[in-house]
A = this chain, B = another copy of it.
Amino acid sequence: MQRYFVNKEQISEQTITLLADDAKHIQKVMRMNPGDRLICADNEGNVYLCEIQSLESDCITAVIKKQLEENAELPIHVTIVQGLPKGDKLEFIVQKGTECGARAFIPLKAERSISKWAVNKVDKKLSRLKKIAKEAAEQSHRTYIPEIGRPVSIDQLIKMSDHYHKKIVAYEETAKAGEQHALPKILNEIKANERLIAVIGPEGGFSPEEVQKLEQAGFTSCGLGNRILRTETAPLYVLSAASYHFELLKRGE
């Protein structure tokens, strides 16, 4: 069933109001009519099954039929810190990483990032990534829309990383050296609702200095299997592994 994230102010006791792009999508793309059903989520953990009551061009009223008990979220909070990649790869990472359960994305201005964000384009880029995250969260039936952070430097990243229970960095040289135990060890140690921060290098990988800084700040270097993954594939591996570990193998229960 089609799902839309709405703001808290759009929700009253018995009805939900859908506006702007959502109202357009419901009418123009989904071609819904009164009586059709949809799901609304408030991005604070509440999910409602609703039935459309009335449609106007930019405002749709839906009656709340019942509140749904859903569990579409990974048991741990994963933040993906992504070395700024080339082209539109970050859009890809946000879309696919949202499907795979990430709770936040933070772009990292890494030493070898070829892509740089011009200061006057940061807000536009962030708002586009937020839109992609919202749509992917709707499509993959998430309860929460992942947050998109402003780009950080490695030193800013290290400062903010104190707020996480476990910290990992995917480092190609570690992968090449055959290091395979670190990720399962971390996933075995982390508990439900705790926060994992996973840092992924850009196309050229991290410099040895960057990795040293991260390791000194308590980040664990992890290998991600026996093959060299591209920068945009590595976060999906980390998220899929976390899902497999907690949701399928049911470890950590």
Contacts and interface: CB of A to CB of B under 8 A. Distances in A.
How many copies are assembled?
A: 2
Contacts of A248: 180-181, 183-184, 223-225, 241
A225 B247 contact: yes
Nearest to A97: B233
Contacts of A224: 243, 248
Given A180-B247, A243-B237, A226 B73 contact: yes
Interface stretch (A12-20, A27-35, A60-68, A137-145): A137-145
A71 B240 contact: no
A163 interface: no
Interface string A226-241: 1111100100110011
A72 B227 contact: yes
A241 B187 CA distance: 14
* Dominant secondary structure at the A interface: loop
Contacts of A142: 227
Contacts of A247: 180, 225-226
Contacts of A51: none
Contacts of A183: 244, 248
Contact of A228 (B139, B233, B245): B139
Interface of A: 71-74, 96, 99-101, 139-142, 180-181, 183-184, 223-230, 233, 236-237, 240-241, 243-245, 247-250
